[in-house]
Structure 1
């Protein structure tokens, strides 16, 4: 099964924020959610694609020359490139773009390709208590690819973790959890309607999957991205804590401070501008105290 392939958009070596110790984080492409604050909107679509930063375009026209799909033209008024929906994501235009306006996002790789990169740092994983974290996008969206990556890591004794939005058919991926050491699963909002408003999907399946995962013998950490306009309020945090204490075995929560690192990416992808904001330190401390009052540990991997 080592020939199984999938689509990734990055492998980040020497990561220290995605689990214990030194880790490599493998970002798989494709996600069923459309979180409006997403820092990685380039992860949404499962196929390789080209990100175009028009402000960097010099209008040289080389992208139009090499495009086999005739998806690029030079606008006679702005004298900058314009890309149509016919783009195949092949990346040829990225190779000839002198201004760095085009960046290929995503590549098709095999399990072997990924494992060769992972194994470069195996000695550091073991010495630091680290390992490999699979992130995204949503890793479980490429179930067979993820399954074979996790099994391959297990065969050489590497610790494995997954960061997931929790939105998937449990029956299709349940077996993968038996080979994981840790799961980070998002809980973006406890209200189904509000969750749907900001992410495009309801939260029922996610909450059910949190319950299922929490019954397994592996470390489970619920992650909450704190966003002032969305979920960073006392009522939502209390509802989450009651859910965890009453209906799950999860007793670890990690609060993630909001940042706008994805702002330029949203602009490049033609998405609405990000207008969210982070909490101040005192406000965050208040929510941390509420969580602690429920007997839930605050995880921190900084």
Structure 2
């Protein structure tokens, strides 16, 4: 790890990263649930997840042509869009959330490009959103967005894939803000019967080159798999399991699910 990474000082980061660093440095494993914005009951699900021990919340802005989301999240996104959800309506609803933890938005670059980088970032800030994940925007093409986000105060979270080459990984981790999203496998989101070997490999590779929080997402299907993933990472992002629970059992059940993950991570 470089001296630049070792000498990073608290207070030089945005709200999300500072919060995650403090939690990590206290010995906690980090837990970020994903909830599809605009789906019926999503706001209550977010609040239930936060009350159950989530360290931050990832809010999905529904998009009609996703490339990273598997069938569960696609189903929820389609239902949200059919119900009239728009980026503006999701952010307007997010503005009213009172969770006590930072919020990040996950969506696709076309929404940002269509609105304009600065306007998109400013809309996030107005909604009280700390960070943004643009799942289909490659790091090598992200310069204009990273500049606009930095200028506006939005933490632009970047994704490190199992295929990210060594010569690019340290640069990507350094450019990311909030945390580094270690993509656990080559595929779409969804619960799997077993944790992919690539999930621990990419997280370990990221932690070798950065002191920024590294969270593993995609393909984590149970609390036991979350514990396994955290042997190599600082925490996990849980998406499909949360959204499936929201659709089948409602917002309060999301809180129960997140509590089960929180308990498992705390026990190690």
Bin the TM-score by the shorter chain. Answer: 0.3 to 0.5
Q: Which structure is higher in helix share?
A: 2
Q: Which has the larger radius of gyration?
A: 1
Q: Which structure is higher in strand share?
A: 1
Question: Which has the higher relative contact order, 1 or 2, with Cα contacts under 8 A spaced 6 or more apart?
Answer: 2
